[in-house]
Amino acid sequence: MKILIAYDGSECSDAAIVNLRRAGLPTVAEVLILSVAEISAQIAVPYGAPAVAAGMFFPENLESEASSDHQLREAQAFAAQAVDRLQMDFPGWRINTEAWVDAAGSAIIRKAHAWKPDLIVVGSHGRSGFSRLVLGSVSEKVLHHVTGSVRISRHRLHPQERSVRLLIGIDGSTGAMAALQAIATRNWPPGTEVRVVGVMDCESLRANPLTVTAEAVPMPIEEKWRSQLSTTIHEAVHELTKSGLLATPQVLAGKPSQVLLAEAEKWAADCIFVGARGLNGLERILLGSVSTVVASHAHCSVEIVRPQRQ
């Protein structure tokens, strides 16, 4: 497994590192720590390609060599700090580092396109201090412009003996099935619990003029939909149970993003898994809308899963 971890030394980045202990990640992995020192607002830097020298990246036209050297040393120190923390928890990981002086979002995206990691890990916001309401801008930009899976990592304090709790939204889409496989194939500790949640979004169904009237969902359509969703969820539970997880099904009604957020908060989930693309087929513009809202507003970690490239 190839994992790209963005780390900037912020409190949020530290929390993201700690949270990886409960992410079910493999004991052996190829990991790259990318530490990006943000360019100051006074320095105008174009998007142009960076010059590469021994794993160090410099954008063009920095205000002064002294300024860039200071920022680079800071980024290198942060990267080394991340390596020390990760090696304590994952001694089998092969970890490399890169330090960039650049715009963080753009740097992460470019590196992801070049290196093609299976998973990108970012904090919910970084040193710039953006709040959860705007998803830290960097996390949001990465989420919308990479082709792989993204983990928005947030750490919540739980008793050490408490089991890992995962919540997955299932709608039968390819993205949801990819999220299911991501959970089923991870290295979770014994006792890990998974809630498999399917949401009956009757409001969206009512809005489809090809299948229903504006007033109501015809009973045969709703019953068929509920039956199909229930079957899909129980199949998912069976798959997770085969992997040794304690999985339970739930079929709920409401707006999917709101239901998933409420259930995760009520249950104190460690992470919500969702596909990047739901049955509505939206991705780049709305990122499936459900995925965007969940990633932006969850109080726990969120993994937005895309099918692995063949």
Does the CA dihedral 221-227-231-236 come out positive or negative?
A: positive
pLDDT of residue 158: 65
CA distances 229 to 219, 250, 260, 279, 301, Å, are 15, 10, 16, 12, 25
Whole-structure pTM value = 0.82
Determine the Cα–Cα distance for residues 194 and 247; give it in Å rounded to an integer: 5
Exposure of 119 by Cβ count < 10 A (0-12 exposed, 13-18 middle, 19+ buried)? buried
pLDDT of residue 40: 54
116 and 47 share a domain?
yes
pLDDT of residue 157: 66
Q: How many structural domains comprise the chain? A: 2
Residues of the chain with pLDDT under 70: 39-67, 125-136, 157-160, 202-221, 277-288, 309-310
pLDDT of residue 16: 85
pLDDT of residue 20: 93
Determine the Cα–Cα distance for residues 237 and 235; give it in Å rounded to an integer: 5
16 and 144 share a domain?
yes
pLDDT of residue 54: 43
Determine the Cα–Cα distance for residues 302 and 30; give it in Å rounded to an integer: 22
Determine the Cα–Cα distance for residues 123 and 302; give it in Å rounded to an integer: 10
Determine the Cα–Cα distance for residues 44 and 96; give it in Å rounded to an integer: 29
Determine the Cα–Cα distance for residues 97 and 100; give it in Å rounded to an integer: 10
Determine the Cα–Cα distance for residues 248 and 236; give it in Å rounded to an integer: 9
118 and 180 share a domain?
no
Domain membership flag for residue 62: yes
Is 100 in contact with 7 (CB distance < 8 Å)?
A: no
Buried b (16+ CB within 10 A) or exposed e, 21-43: bbbbbeeebebbbbbbbbbeeeb
| CATH number for the domain harbouring residue 31 | 3.40.50.620
pLDDT of residue 159: 65
Domain membership flag for residue 159: no
Is 51 in contact with 81 (CB distance < 8 Å)?
A: no
pLDDT of residue 76: 93
Domain membership flag for residue 310: no
Domain membership flag for residue 186: yes
Domain membership flag for residue 158: no
141 and 186 share a domain?
no
Determine the Cα–Cα distance for residues 269 and 273; give it in Å rounded to an integer: 11
**CA–CA–CA angle 233, 234, 235 (5° rounding):** 90
138 and 246 share a domain?
no
Domain range holding 249? 165-305
